[in-house]
Amino acid sequence: MKSHTAYLTLTTPERCAIVNITGRVEAELARSGIKEGLCLVNSMHITSSVFINDDEKGLHRDFLKWTERLAPYAPESYDHNLTGEDNGDAHLKRTLMGREVVVAVTRGALDFGPWERIFYGEFDGRRAKRLLIKIIGE
Amino acid sequence: MKSHTAYLTLTTPERCAIVNITGRVEAELARSGIKEGLCLVNSMHITSSVFINDDEKGLHRDFLKWTERLAPYAPESYDHNLTGEDNGDAHLKRTLMGREVVVAVTRGALDFGPWERIFYGEFDGRRAKRLLIKIIGE
Amino acid sequence: MKSHTAYLTLTTPERCAIVNITGRVEAELARSGIKEGLCLVNSMHITSSVFINDDEKGLHRDFLKWTERLAPYAPESYDHNLTGEDNGDAHLKRTLMGREVVVAVTRGALDFGPWERIFYGEFDGRRAKRLLIKIIGE
């Protein structure tokens, strides 16, 4: 069994943003030399997400509006913010969108449907944050 | 390390539906010969889900009502639909229910609790859509 | 390839609760002897979750309030409860929080960001429930 580990660092200028990271994951897969296996991609922070969906800008705006509707910023309404933070909402938004994805690796490629792409979802940005890519297989 | 890859195709007559696919995953596990490992099952589309829950029809109706409440069809309210699509809601519904599951394989079987079953959740059906099963282990 | 399987049993005195299980997962990882691989942790029940977030009590209260807001107990409003159950809401709450996490194992440790910890989220407790830990790698 082979394994490959890589860390990406991302800083978004906005508090909330969606960034396509598919190419960076594919580059690590090529580096790994793994042909058959599983590829885990996860945020290493608890106020941001990794998820798979469509690379369409209107949809990304819909995701940001929807997470704001279901988990509004409203800093005074979260017990977490009694610690001095103002990002209680970001923990909930990331929960909606998910921490991680696991993608099949088949014949040396991410085994994707026609529209699947991997995104980083940021809900408390403007600072450097890390992602993990772990690929195991042969 | 062994690996096994299979693709399922499903067409639901309804726009939104929940289909038990446990037996089809178990058939692929038997075909793989893998006794210890991990089994990934994911939708290859971005408007449908794979999730684990209970095989109870009332609960499935509850899931469909709940996803409609939190992400209503309302085609005029999504920026994604400015592309000519009407399925903005389906991308959100699938996000709630999840893209994928990872299941442990132990002694040649899916290592499930008493009520766990694997379901395909469709939110923009009436056309052929694909699922991926990837099993790695020994 | 090595694999290691363990089952934890938890009983929470409250109907809804959040329990830090990171130490118990780390103990199983040490037992496995695996240095590079993937670690799956999942609830074996369909009314409870495993998720990764921050070990902060205010945030945990926020999670419980938020899941109650998006999927209220309201036993009369779920078709699932026509079976005689009163836990329709718990199936939805667990769906929001997620069934499982997959964590990278690097140099013999859970490869975590600074604040990542693993939690069991209970939404229909007061009885013994089981979790699964499956680690594969080398």
- Digitized pLDDT (tens) for each residue of chain B, 138 residues in all: 999 999 999 999 999 999 999 999 999 999 999 999 999 999 999 999 999 999 999 999 999 999 999 999 999 999 999 999 999 999 999 999 999 999 999 999 999 999 999 999 999 999 999 999 999 999
Confidence of residue A115 (pLDDT cuts 50, 70, 90): very high
Instruction: Report percent pLDDT > 90 for chain C.
Output: 100
Q: What share of chain B is helix, strand, coil (3-state, %, to 5)?
A: 30, 35, 35
Query: For B19-62, what is the HEC assignment?
Result: EECHHHHHHHHHHHCCCCEEEEEEECCCCEEEEEECCCHHHHHH
Q: Which chains touch C (3 or more CB pairs under 8 A)?
A: A, B
B111 and C5 in contact by Cβ < 8 A?
Answer: yes
How many angstroms away from the CA of A48 is the closest CA of chain B?
Answer: 15
How crowded is residue C49: how many other Cβ atoms within 10 Å of its Cβ? 26
B38, B79, B136 ranked by CB distance to A58: nearest: B79
Confidence of residue A55 (pLDDT cuts 50, 70, 90): very high
Instruction: Report percent pLDDT > 70 for chain C.
Output: 100
How crowded is residue C9: how many other Cβ atoms within 10 Å of its Cβ? 9
Confidence of residue A70 (pLDDT cuts 50, 70, 90): very high
Averaged pLDDT for residues A113-125: 98
Q: What is the pLDDT of residue B133?
A: 98
Nearest to C18 by CA among B65, B116, A91, B54: A91
Which residues, 6+ apart, have CB-to-CB distance to A68 below 8 Å?
A16, A93
Confidence of residue C15 (pLDDT cuts 50, 70, 90): very high
Residue type, A9: T
Q: What is the pLDDT of residue B71?
A: 98
The single-letter DSSP state of residue B30 is H
How many angstroms away from the CA of C79 is the closest CA of chain B?
Answer: 5
The single-letter DSSP state of residue A46 is S
> Residues of A119-129 as b/e, b for ≥16 C-beta within 10 angstroms?
bbbbbbbeeeb
Residues of C in CB contact (< 8 Å) with A are 1, 36-38, 51-54, 56-59, 61-63, 66, 70, 96-98, 101-104, 106, 111-116, 136-138
Measured between alpha carbons, how far is C45 from C65 in angstroms, rounded to an integer? 21
Give CA separation, B120 vs A101, A123, B24, C9, in Å: 17, 29, 11, 29
Which residues, 6+ apart, have CB-to-CB distance to B111 below 8 Å?
B103, B104, B105, C5, C132, C134
A40, A45, A95 ranked by CB distance to C96: nearest: A95
Tokens 């890519």 found at: A133
Nearest to B134 by CA among A134, A102, A104: A104
Measured between alpha carbons, how far is C96 from B98 in angstroms, rounded to an integer? 9
Confidence of residue C34 (pLDDT cuts 50, 70, 90): very high
Q: What is the pLDDT of residue C86?
A: 97
Confidence of residue A27 (pLDDT cuts 50, 70, 90): very high
Measured between alpha carbons, how far is C41 from C134 in angstroms, rounded to an integer? 7
Nearest to A48 by CA among A100, A118, A101: A100
Confidence of residue C104 (pLDDT cuts 50, 70, 90): very high
Please, what is the angle between helix C88-97 and helix B57-70, to 10°?
50
Cα-Cα end-to-end distance for chain B: 5
Which of B41, B56, B115 is the best residue to mutate to test the C interface, defined by the most C CB atoms within 10 Å of its own CB? B56
Measured between alpha carbons, how far is B122 from C97 in angstroms, rounded to an integer? 20
Residues of chain B with C-beta less than 8 angstroms from the C-beta of A63: 91-92, 95
Contact at 8 Å (CB) between B35 and B108? yes
Domain locations along chain B: 2-137
Q: What is the pLDDT of residue C16?
A: 98
Per-residue tokens: C64:
């419980």
Nearest to A39 by CA among A119, A111, A116: A111
Averaged pLDDT for residues C96-115: 98
In the CATH hierarchy, which top-level class contains the domain A2-137?
mainly beta
Nearest to C42 by CA among C57, C25, C27: C25
Q: What is the pLDDT of residue B89?
A: 98
Question: What 3-state class would DSSP assign to A43?
Answer: strand
This complex has an ipTM of 0.98
Which of C3, C25, C32, C78 is the best residue to mutate to test the B interface, defined by the most B CB atoms within 10 Å of its own CB? C3
Averaged pLDDT for residues A76-102: 98
